Amino acid sequence: MIWYEMMGVNRIVGFILPDWIADLMPGKYPVHSADGTVKPNFKSKVLDVVTGEFEAFKIPVPTGHIWDSFLRVFLGLTLGIILGVPLGLFMGLNRFAKGFFDPLVELYRPVPPLAWAPLVITVFGIDNLGKVFLLFMVSFSIMIISARAGASGTQLSKIHAAHSLGASRWQILREVIFPNSLPEILTGVRVAVGMCWGTLVAAEFLAGTSGIGFVENVARKYMQYEVIWITIFVMGMLGLLFDVTIRKIIDKTIPWRGKG
């Protein structure tokens, strides 16, 4: 369910860099000359780089069902953190923002993720985009609530003390409110990881062509119970690996947790 393949660095560069970078370069693309040849210039060479049309060495790249599921969880969780944490902090510090966004968040948060799955998969397809967006929806609400609880739970005495020492609003947010919110945020990440794994496997079970849930679904159809047990074990080990990693991050980044 996991292996690796040798992939050229040019393919990775072509996947990451957008093609419009070449359009921003000065000059024009080369055209055919009278003898039918095309002489490359700087603009065409940049286009070759951003599209991956160049020779490069190869590196081992992981692939397989486990890797596909891992990337989907990682991308969905990352998007949820990037967009959910700032919004949650804003809601925790601003009463108008809380009053405006809180009903919207609480409207869709209680809905089970699998209830959204048919709609999301229908709109975005059974490929990675639909599954990542579904995981984003799961982690987004959790991170909003965690960041909001951390920000609103900051003691006013700490804020007043920082203000009396001459700290600006940005310094208070960065040095007082955000560190005070970190325990709640990282706890929310642990909760979101578990929710994302459960949702992803069920989504892959419903519709998918790769992933751990897809493997389990195929094994179920052919009554390969040993494969089902293996997928269950792999899911448990991956969830444990995520949780242990986050706990290590918590211990390293917020040693003041629980110490007042």
| Residue 238, token pair as written in the block | 């991956």
Alpha-carbon gap, residue 91 to 107, rounded angstroms: 16
Alpha-carbon gap, residue 141 to 144, rounded angstroms: 5
Per-residue pLDDT in tens (0 to 9) along the chain, 260 residues: 667 777 788 887 887 788 888 888 888 888 877 777 778 888 888 888 888 888 888 878 777 888 888 888 888 999 999 999 999 998 988 888 888 888 888 888 888 887 887 788 778 877 778 888 888 988 999 999 999 988 888 777 887 788 888 888 888 888 888 888 888 898 899 889 888 888 887 777 777 778 888 888 888 888 888 888 888 888 888 888 888 888 888 788 777 665 55
The full set of domains in the chain, from first to last, is 3-62 (no CATH), 64-253 (1.10.3720.10)
Alpha-carbon gap, residue 260 to 242, rounded angstroms: 27
Dihedral, 232, 233, 237, 239 alpha carbons, nearest 10 = 10
* pTM metric for this prediction: 0.77
